[in-house]
Structure 1
Amino acid sequence: MDVMAESDAGASTIQERLQKRHQSRVEDAERRKEAKESHSVAEEKADYFFSTFKAERASIEELLASCSGADRAAVNPKLEEATAKILQLQKFLNDSMMFLTQYDLRQSQVAIQKLQTALADIREEYLPKKKFAFRARTKASDKACEPVSDTPPPGPDADTVIDGAAVASKQCGFSNMDNVSLTKTAEELHKQDVLLTHLTNCKVRLFGSPSTLHLKHIDGCEILCGPVSSSVFVDQCKSSTLALPCQQLRTHNTTDTQVYLHVTSRAIIEDCHGVSFAPFTWSYPTLDEDFTVSGLDQDRNNWNQVDDFNWLAAGTPSPNWTVIPEADRKTNWDP
């Protein structure tokens, strides 16, 4: 009896091992199948992206080319249509980031930048700038600050270029200021392209929903902005604190800067180091209304999804940016 029992037990053990081995093989085959299917889906999505992106880019290029020789009345609607198409193409790129390689993402962004530059050149040629000036409202003093002039100052920055796109000096914003508090209202910023440049040790409060925000040559500043409906471009920023919601953030040549961010795509940095990120925490009474105006999804925030174009090592975090520890995050923005 004992011998038979031992024989039955041995047979049972062998059977269990065979079943486990078979199950392991089945599971491994299923994993390989799923990985293959996933790869095929990603390839199909990428193929669709490239064909659609190429067709849309060609359509915009054709539209811009049709402006050549046209009268001014005909050019304006063409530029409006091209602007809308470029924004749609940028959104299409943002929505496709998850299955694009860093190289393809960068090449696509460069293509969009070229379209933006061509658009700006045509607008400059056919739609000359109007004379006006914005005045800064300061909290430190009742005296109005120097206006942002329509006439570019002499020197290499007369025609500001940020992220490959020409930025006209006529835009709403502040420039060449030190040690002041600056504010603009929702009425002043509504759907405007805002430019902040050559600011040192300034505190800036931008209420409302601008269309785009450009920051260049910012040193030791605290800049808080309401929801930006499209992109924020940062270049040559150091030792500063930024708080802003946007659809897309591109940051260049920036060091030792904290960014409190709400972004619905993914943030991009290039030639940066010492940049740190945390969720957007600034608040003011009409913030929810401004989110609605901007069209940004208030429930979608990819603040810690940062692509570093200088760090393409798969599986290894970039050393050029970090997450601000919760204990060190700023929540009180009062002066």
Structure 2
Amino acid sequence: MINMAHQEDAKEKFYRNFRIQQSNIQEQITHLPSIAPVAGERQDATEHILTNISRLTNDVRDATHFLPAYDHRVYTHAVNLLRKELDETTAKLAPKSRFQFRPRPVRTALSCDEASKGDSRRLMGGEKTTTTNGQPPISPPLSPGGGGGGGGDGGGSRGRSRSPRTVKVEGQRGAVITLPADHSRTSSAGQLTDLSGCVVNLCSPSVEASRAAPFASLTLKGIENSVVVAGHVDGPVHVTGLKKCKVAVTARQVRIHDCEEVDFYLEVRSGPIVEGCKKVRFAPLPPGGGLGTGEQGEQGGEENKWGEVKDFLWLKEGQSPNWSVLKEEDRVEEGVWRGVMGDGDEGGDVKVVLGRFGIARD
């Protein structure tokens, strides 16, 4: 009995340590695009991540004597996913692919370009506006953040495009958040942090922008009672600490941590990963498509794996109780998504928009 109790303690300690290291590595990979490639800074960061992944691999190997075979396979798979994600991220950052953008036709009913026509809520030049019906002010368009440091390039940045490394918004309450009409997300990482009662539309507002490179990565953290139409993300999406939200996104991979009562509408190339979540539900993007790129079902011919969810904290056989498939009768209708993207008649009334999604503002 004493030996069995010791093994259980070792398993619990290993789990906590593994999760901390895994989370740190994921964060490092997410922010890799925001690190300047000059002076070998990005290469040093990549090598540091590889070292951490190797260390975690050794930890899993050394834990074989007290981990059950099934648990060991789960941890090994998690490490392999980290390595794969790093490989995909560095491949996207390679110089050859960094500046070659393929034109992509926007041709579905819910395309970001079409949906944003006549959207009077979008603000230009950082001006602040209030609605005429007394509703809360609309937030300014997303602006370049400080990720990676603006002055870190030194003389090496002369003559090159100064597109933002990180596009972020934080600390908003009861706001409508959209991209400005001339915004291009080329080589940018997106960050949304500490939002409550907000409606966010990150779809490119113009044909030119929608044909440019999508977000390299996206981080959603600490968001409550909100709707997020995240558009197209070329790399990973990291979601942490969301409650009572609706999220729609097209991405390569989606990792979800510590979320509760969140509905995800996805088009993904690999199965979503959840950890520490409760009552999260999944559905494919609406049949009309286009919430991300207007390319639903055409990601290189790859299948949409929105329903192949993996719960890393559910180590038993069978269905995890922490997530489920969203029933068709409970899914948000296509017309409601149109309203978020500019075709609705609710204007800047955040409360009305959230109400149509079944979300009550606190």
Higher relative contact order (CA 8 A, sep 6+): 2
Structure 1 CA distance for aligned equivalents of residues 265 and 130 of structure 2: 23
Question: What is the TM-score normalised by the length of structure 2?
Answer: 0.50
Aligned twin of 1:48: none
CA-atom RMSD in angstroms: 4.3
- How far 1:73 sits from its partner (Å)? 4.8
Structure 2 CA distance for aligned equivalents of residues 263 and 310 of structure 1: 21
Structure 1 CA distance for aligned equivalents of residues 301 and 130 of structure 2: 30
Sort the Cα spacing of 1:246 and 1:149 in 2 relative to 1 into closer, same or farther, 3 A.
closer
Structure 1 CA distance for aligned equivalents of residues 325 and 76 of structure 2: 26
Q: Which ranges of structure 2 fall in alignment gaps of 5 or more residues?
A: 1-31, 54-71, 89-124, 132-136, 149-163, 205-213, 340-352, 354-362
Larger radius of gyration: 1
Sort the Cα spacing of 1:227 and 1:288 in 2 relative to 1 into closer, same or farther, 3 A.
closer
| Matched position secondary structure for 2:76 | helix
Residue deviations 1:186-243, cap 9 Å, x none?
8332331000000001000011421111001011110002121110000011111100
Structure 1 CA distance for aligned equivalents of residues 217 and 295 of structure 2: 14
List aligned pairs for 1:1-335, cutoff 5 A: 73-75=38-40, 78=43, 82=46, 101-109=73-81, 135=126, 141=137, 144=140, 150=146, 171-184=166-179, 187-208=183-204, 209-281=214-286, 288=293, 296-297=299-300, 300-314=303-317, 316-331=318-333, 332-333=336-337, 334=339, 335=353
Sort the Cα spacing of 1:326 and 1:143 in 2 relative to 1 into closer, same or farther, 3 A.
closer
Amino acid corresponding to residue 300 of structure 1 in structure 2: E
Q: Which ranges of structure 1 fall in alignment gaps of 5 or more residues?
A: 1-63, 65-71, 90-99, 117-133, 153-168
Residue deviations 1:270-321, cap 9 Å, x none?
00011000001286879546779xx94465201110000110212x100000
> Which range is displaced more, 225-234 or 184-193?
184-193
Kept after mapping to 2: 8 A contact 1:243/1:281 = no
Amino acid corresponding to residue 326 of structure 2 in structure 1: I
Amino acid corresponding to residue 187 of structure 2 in structure 1: K
Q: Percent identity?
A: 24
Structure 1 CA distance for aligned equivalents of residues 39 and 144 of structure 2: 30
Kept after mapping to 2: 8 A contact 1:223/1:242 = yes
Aligned twin of 1:9: none
Structure 1 CA distance for aligned equivalents of residues 188 and 81 of structure 2: 22
Kept after mapping to 1: 8 A contact 2:220/2:240 = yes
Kept after mapping to 2: 8 A contact 1:138/1:180 = no
Residue deviations 1:81-128, cap 9 Å, x none?
x59x98xx9xxxxxxxxxx93221123345678999xxxxxxxxxxxx
Amino acid corresponding to residue 314 of structure 2 in structure 1: W
Kept after mapping to 1: 8 A contact 2:142/2:177 = no
Structure 2 CA distance for aligned equivalents of residues 73 and 199 of structure 1: 34
Structure 2 CA distance for aligned equivalents of residues 278 and 220 of structure 1: 19
Sort the Cα spacing of 1:113 and 1:135 in 2 relative to 1 into closer, same or farther, 3 A.
farther
Sort the Cα spacing of 1:231 and 1:79 in 2 relative to 1 into closer, same or farther, 3 A.
same
- The size of the alignment, in residue pairs, is 217
Amino acid corresponding to residue 321 of structure 1 in structure 2: W
Amino acid corresponding to residue 319 of structure 2 in structure 1: P
| Matched position secondary structure for 1:187 | coil
Kept after mapping to 2: 8 A contact 1:138/1:182 = no
| Matched position secondary structure for 2:75 | helix
Sort the Cα spacing of 1:233 and 1:255 in 2 relative to 1 into closer, same or farther, 3 A.
same
Aligned twin of 1:45: none
Question: Normalized per residue, which structure has more strand?
Answer: 1
Structure 2 CA distance for aligned equivalents of residues 114 and 189 of structure 1: 21
| Matched position secondary structure for 1:101 | helix
Structure 2 CA distance for aligned equivalents of residues 190 and 151 of structure 1: 15
Aligned twin of 1:44: none
